[in-house]
Amino acid sequence: MKVLLIFPGLNEAEHQTLIAVLRARVRNPFLGLPYIAAVTPSNIDVEIIDETNGPIRDYKEADLVGITGMTLQANRMYEIADIYRSKGIPVVLGGIHVSLNREEAKNHADSIVIGEGEELWPILLKDFELNSLKPVYQQSHLVDIDKLPHPRVDLCDGVAYRAPKGNLNTMMITRGCPNDCLYCCTPEMFGRKFRTRTLDNVIAEISKLQRKFVFFPDDNIIGNPKYAKDLFLRIEPLKLKWGAQCSIKIAESPELLDLAASSGCTSLYIGFETVDFKNMTYLNKSPVNNIEKFNDNIRKIHDKGITINASFMVGLENDDESVFENINKFMEINNIVSTALNILTPFPGTRLFEIYNSQNRIIDTNWDHYDLFHVVFKPSKMTPEQLADGFKKFAGKIYRDLYRRFLIEISS
């Protein structure tokens, strides 16, 4: 049996800014399909088609097609699904957008998977072979991530993931988030219990990598501080260079920060989101992000030689047109040289979407525009046009500078 697993690409006409940004950053594969490939029985021929490497030119024949994607990929996901179904090939859809928008997804699939798919996929394949494919497979409990085989990232290989712009050394070591941020869909998909893999398992996977730099894409590598300390101690002898997504609270534990640095941490992606107290409270992120400690904590991280990639959102409830200059000043004061600037986006399935929808503030439900670079709602203290124009000017400057630095780095 032949199974194709497809990760959709982006609409080039709609995502020009995002594509330009991605071209200036190191790209790591999303691990959803590599894990699904890993749990596929060995007697099944499985292939991953990742449109990050370029759009599909030849819609290959297969017995079954599985597709996953985020909200900004949903239209392309449905387009691919419809093409395969028109050829008489059954299609299964899954992932975060499908799980939170199941009725919509059903219109484009023979079956949908809701929630984490690793335990459901082998069951689904067996049902398919018996000609008894169900319309819906829903995960009823959290997956034990320590029991999962190592992901088949080798199947993602392609031009997008080759040096200097790409990196296949991507590892998931935790899942779930105990926080309850208004805009985030992670708890809905992966639960609020913070799950971890055993350190022996993690080290075994690292040993398989052709490693120079490893990226841990988990939502917060220090979500369990004791686990993080033990992890850093275990990887220190390996002489890794690594980066991760992380809470700014790492700077509030000298021991944790020291261990991160000594174990090879060179960069941390940190979601500051805003420098406005009212906004932070509205987002329900105050328990994690203490604005009063930002400057001091940033200094502590920089003092360890760790680069911060700072993430900010604009268009929040207390944002007016001064937000761009406020963020710019914050970056200059704290010597932030790498940033991810995003427009607040109320993704379907989040509480933020429900609130804005109930207030008739959602003005655009074209999923192509849910890419953090389009305005899809009515801001509180700006017009949509003011937010879009301010973002375009400010983001343009930031990302032009980022791209110049990238060109300098790869040519040196």
Q: Provide the pLDDT for residue 401.
A: 64
Q: Which pLDDT does position 411 carry in this prediction?
A: 43
pLDDT greater at residue 186 or residue 196: 196
Split at pLDDT 50, 70, 90, the class of 210 is: confident
| 24-42 per-position pLDDT tens digit | 667 889 999 999 999 999 9
pLDDT of residue 81: 98
Contacts of 209 (CB under 8 A, 6+ apart): 169, 171
Chain position carrying tokens 């913070």: 194
Residue 243 CA to its chain's centroid (Å): 14
pLDDT band at 115 (very low <50, low <70, confident <90, very high): very high
Distances (CA, A) of 113 to 69, 181, 216, 261: 12, 25, 25, 40
- Helix axis angle, 384-411 relative to 16-23, nearest 10°? 20
Residue position matching structure tokens 């953090």 = 372
Higher-pLDDT residue of 57 and 104 is 104
Return mean pLDDT, the chain: 92
Asked if residues 113 and 137 have their Cβ atoms less than 8 Å apart, the reply is yes
Q: Is the pLDDT of residue 402 over 60?
A: no
Q: What's the Rg (C-alpha) of the chain?
A: 21
Give every CB contact of residue 366 below 8 A, 6+ residues apart in sequence.
75
Please compute the mean of the pLDDT values over residues 230-258 and round it to a whole number.
96
pLDDT of residue 404: 57
Residue 211: pLDDT over 80: no
What was the pLDDT predicted at 8?
A: 96
Does the pLDDT at position 159 exceed 80?
A: no
Whether residue 409 is predicted with pLDDT greater than 50 in this model: the reply is: no
Q: Are 31 and 161 in contact (CB under 8 A)?
A: no
Residues in the chain: 412
Domains annotated on the chain, with CATH: 2-138 (3.40.50.280), 169-411 (3.20.20.70)
pLDDT tens digits, 52-87: 888 998 999 999 999 999 999 999 999 999 999 999
Close Cβ partners of 392 (under 8 Å, ≥ 6 residues apart): none
- SS3 string, 153-175, reads HHHHCCHHHCCCCECCCECCCEE
Q: Taking the mean position of all CA atoms in its chain, how far away is CA 228?
A: 20
- The residue with greater pLDDT, 87 or 21, is 87
**Reported confidence tier of residue 126, pLDDT bands at 50, 70, 90:** very high
The answer to whether the predicted template modeling score (pTM) of the entire model surpasses 0.95 is: no
The mean pLDDT of 144-163, rounded to a whole number, is 89
Q: Is the pLDDT of residue 139 over 90?
A: yes
Whether residue 316 has pLDDT greater than 90: yes
Indicate the Cα dihedral angle 22, 69, 115, 349, nearest 10°.
80
In this predicted model, which residue has the larger pLDDT, 388 or 191?
A: 388
Q: Helix (H, G, I), strand (E, B), or coil: what is residue 220?
A: coil
Which two structure tokens, joined as six digits, stand for 316?
Answer: 């929040």
